[in-house]
Structure 1
Amino acid sequence: MKIALQTLASMVVGFVFFGLALFWPAGTFDYWQAWVFIAVFIIGTLGPSIYLMVKMPDALRRRMRAGPFAETRMVQKVIIAATILSVAAVLVISAFDHRFEWSTVATPVVVVGNVLVWTGLTVAQIVVIQNNYAGATITVEDDQRLVSTGLYGLVRHPMYLGTLIMMIGTPLALDSYWGLLSIVPALLILAARIDDEEKMLKQQLPGYNQYTSKVRYRLVPYVW
C-alpha cells in the first residue's frame, strides 16, 4: 500500500510540474500538444510502474528514490540539480515557442515527437526489468551483480539512451524546434553523469572493467 501511495504521489507531483512548466509560459490551457505529451508521459510510465509494483517492488523503490538529496556523491547532487533545471528549460522554452510562434511544427512531426517520448520511456522501463538494480541514484549495493546482456549488450548505459531519445522527442511533441537547442546543455550534463558514474562502477562493481572492454559504447552505438 505504501509504495502504491508513493507512486500515486509521484505522478501527481509530475503532473503539477508539467502543468506549471508548460501551461504557465504558454499563457493558455489551449495547448493540445502539451496535453497529448502529458498523457503520453503518464500512460507510458503508469503501466510499467504497476508491473514493477506487482512483480519487482524493490526495483520500483529504487526508481522512486530520486533527486539531488538521494545521491551519495556530491558531484551527482550537483549534476541531478542541473538536470532538473535543464528539463524545466526544455519544457519552458518549448512552451514559449508555442506561445509566440517562433517556429511551427507540423502535426505529423508532433506525432513523431510523441512516439520518440514513448520509445524513450519504454527503453528506460525495459532496462529496469532487465536490471533490478537500475535505480534513479548512483549506488552499488553489496549483492549487486553486473548485467551485460539485453540492452546492456548494446550500450553500457541503456537507461540514459532512453533518456536521450525522450529528450529529442520532447520539444517536437510540444510544437517547438527552438526547444531542441536546450537539449545541448542537457546532453553535456548527461555526459558528466555517465563519466562520474563509470568511475565509481570501475572501482566498486566487480567485472565492470572487463565489461567496458566488451561493450565499447557508453550511450550511442558507434558514436560514444
Structure 2
Amino acid sequence: MFRFKELASLPPQTRRNVFRRVGYMLFFDSLIALLLFLSAGSADWPFAWVYVVLMALIQLCGAFFMPLEVLAERGSRKENTEAWDRTLTRLLLATFLSLYLVAGLDFRWRWTAGYGLAWHLVGVLLFLLGCGLEIWAMSVNRFFSTDVRMQFDRGHTVCSSGPYQYVRHPGYVGMILYYSVTPLLLGSLWALIPAGLVVILFVIRTALEDRTLRARLPGYQEYSAQVPYRLLPGIW
C-alpha cells in the first residue's frame, strides 16, 4: 500500500506534518479549480480540465516519489522564517491566485482570440518540464522547504547533486517555467501579466535567499564558486 510502512516508522509529529502537507496540496488544487471555473462561469473549458488533472497527477507523483522528510518539512509550522520571505510569500500567493482569476475571466469574456492546438500542447510540454524539474530538485534536496529558513534543527547542509550541479536554485527554475507557460496552456494571453509578476517575485526571492545562504549556511560560499549561476547557466 501507499508508503504505509514508511509512514508508520516516522515519529508522530513528522507523520502529522506529512498529512498536513498532503492536505494543503489537495486544498490548493481544489482552490485553483474553483477559481478557474467560477471566474470562467462555465465548466466547459477543456484546457482548464487538462490543467487541473495534470496538477493532480503531478501532486500524486510527488507524494509517491518525494522523500517523506521533505513533505514533512514543507508541511511543518515554521518559527524561524526570514521576515522578508513572509512578505514575499503573501505576495506570491496573491499573484498565483490572480493568474487563475484573470485566465478564467479571459475565457468568459473572450479577451484572447483563440490560437491553434499546437500552442496549447507546447504549453503542456513546458509545464510538465517545469514540474519535473521542481520534483527532481525536491527529490535530491532534503532541505527543500516552502519557507526560506536555516534548518539547523535538521542538520542543514548544502545540496550540490542532481540539478544543483548546474544552477543553485533549480526548484525556482521549474516554478518559473511552469507558471510562465500556464497562460499558454490555458489559452489566456492576459494571464501573462500576473505570470510576469510571479517571475519577478521569484527572481527577487532567489536573490534574497541566495544572499541569506551565502551569509549563514556553512559551505555555501564554496558551492557558489563551483556553481556560479543562480537560475540561468551563463546568464545569472
Unaligned runs of 5+ in 1: none
Q: Is the 8 A contact 1:70 1:137 kept in 2?
A: no
Q: Which moved more, 1:120-129 or 1:6-15?
A: 6-15
Does structure 1 residue 214 correspond to structure 2 residue 226? yes
In the alignment, does 2:90 pair up with 1:81? yes
Corresponding residue for residue 194 of structure 1: 206
Alpha-carbon deviations, 1:125-145, whole Å to 9, x = none? 111111111111112222122
TM-score between the two structures when normalised by the length of structure 1: 0.89
- Provide the residue aligned with 1:45 in structure 2: 59
Q: After TM superposition, give the deviation of residue 174 of structure 1 in Å.
A: 0.9
Is 2:57 aligned against 1:62? Answer: no
Measure the CA separation in 1 of the matches of 2:60 and 2:106. Answer: 29
Distance 1:94 1:105, change over 3 A: farther
Contact 1:86–1:182 (CA under 8 A) maintained in structure 2: yes
Match of 1:94 among 93, 96, 103: 103
Aligned-partner residue type, residue 26 of structure 2: V
Q: Contact 1:45–1:121 (CA<8 Å) still a contact in 2?
A: no
CA contact (8 A) 1:117 1:170 kept: yes
Structure 2 gaps, min length 5: 1-6, 8-15
Query: How many percent of aligned residue pairs carry the same amino acid?
Result: 24
Deviation at 1:28, TM superposition (A): 0.7
Cα offsets for 1:73-108 (capped at 9, x unmatched): 221111000000111121111112222222223222
Over aligned residue pairs, what C-alpha RMSD do you find?
A: 1.9
Amino acid at match of 1:40: L
Query: How far did residue 20 of structure 1 move?
Result: 2.5
- Over residues 167-206 of structure 1, what are the superposed CA-to-partner deviations in whole Å (9 max), with x where a residue is unaligned? 1221111111221222222122112211221122112211
Aligned length: 219
Residue 149 (structure 1) shift: 2.7
